Amino acid sequence: MELTIDFPGGSRVDAHFGGFTVATDQPPAASAPTPFAVFLSSIGTCAGIYVLGFCRQRGLPTDGMRIVQRVHSNPFSGMVEKIDLEIQVPPSFPEKYLDSLIRSAELCAVKKHLENPPQFEITTSIPAAAVI
């Protein structure tokens, strides 16, 4: 997968891939979420995709369901130390599926990549078209 990152003005930094644009910005006059907020939201939404798929496969309604994500950061370093995902279900949701919902959320690819992080290689280049 290849993404193109550009700088459309102000503090904006956008990512483009597959016909989509993920816009990011920085406070104080942010017009989009910060890159880190987009990263954090990818954890809960990824888990949500798996929970939704689990429910759809079994014909279980998702009305009234939601995932609440809580991020706990170290007050000294500011680094995230723990992320809680709470899958909230309506009272009518079949109890026999509760543990399975947790297992489905644990399949999230974003979570798995955080548990086994990739290596990063950062380089610079001057593309041939940009040479003057």
107-123 pLDDT, tens per residue? 999 999 999 999 999 99
Q: Which residues pair with 12 in a beta bridge?
A: 9
Residue 129: band (very low, low, confident or very high) from pLDDT cuts 50, 70, 90 = confident
Single pTM value for the model: 0.87
pLDDT of 58 above 90: yes
Residue 106, Ramachandran bin (φ over 0: left; ψ between -120 and 50: alpha; else beta):
alpha
Q: Which residues pair with 21 in a beta bridge?
A: 16
17-44 pLDDT, tens per residue? 999 999 999 998 899 999 999 999 999 9
Return d(Cα 30, Cα 46) in angstroms, integer: 24
